[in-house]
């Protein structure tokens, strides 16, 4: 294994199938997006797989559970984290995965429920 790369299995959640095995030089988090072979996927879950070597557990690979999704066009930076939609709206979920409860698909600028904080 290269020093700065993580062996990663990318698994589509529905239908459940492995999309591929790749090496990443960054640590993916749920809510991040990943491009593979011209398609964009939202990362839903990350699982670590360890192996016992010389009496110590070492990270062997990670598994990413993803779903096909377009990259969001609306994002806001809140406390160093990117969230979907306009974080100044009262109904914004402040989440990387969900925009809000009243208009989860967006966009925020045309939402009739938009209320500025």
Block mean pLDDT (10 aa), the chain, length 117: 76 94 90 91 94 94 94 83 88 88 85 88
Q: Model's pTM, two decimal places?
A: 0.71
Tokens of 99: 């925009």
Which run of H or E residues covers position 78?
A: strand 75-78
Nearest to 63 by CA among 42, 80, 77, 49: 49
Query: Counting every residue, how long is the chain?
Result: 117
**Dihedral, 78, 79, 81, 85 alpha carbons, nearest 10:** -10
Domain extents for the chain? 6-68, 72-117
Write down the residue that tokens 């993803």 correspond to: 66
CA dihedral in degrees (9, 70, 99, 14; nearest 10)?
Answer: -50
């Amino acid at each position: 294994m290269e020093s700065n790369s993580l062996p990663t299995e990318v698994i589509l959640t529905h239908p459940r199938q492995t999309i591929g095995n790749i090496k990443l030089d960054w640590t993916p988090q749920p809510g991040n997006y990943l491009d593979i072979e011209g398609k964009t996927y939202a990362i839903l879950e990350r699982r670590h797989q360890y192996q016992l070597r010389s009496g110590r557990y070492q990270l062997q690979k990670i598994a990413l559970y993803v779903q096909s999704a377009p990259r969001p066009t609306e994002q806001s930076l809140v406390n160093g984290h990117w969230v979907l939609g306009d974080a100044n709206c009262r109904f914004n979920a402040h989440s990387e995965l969900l925009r809000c409860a009243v208009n989860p698909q967006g966009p925020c600028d045309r939402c009739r429920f938009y209320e500025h904080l």
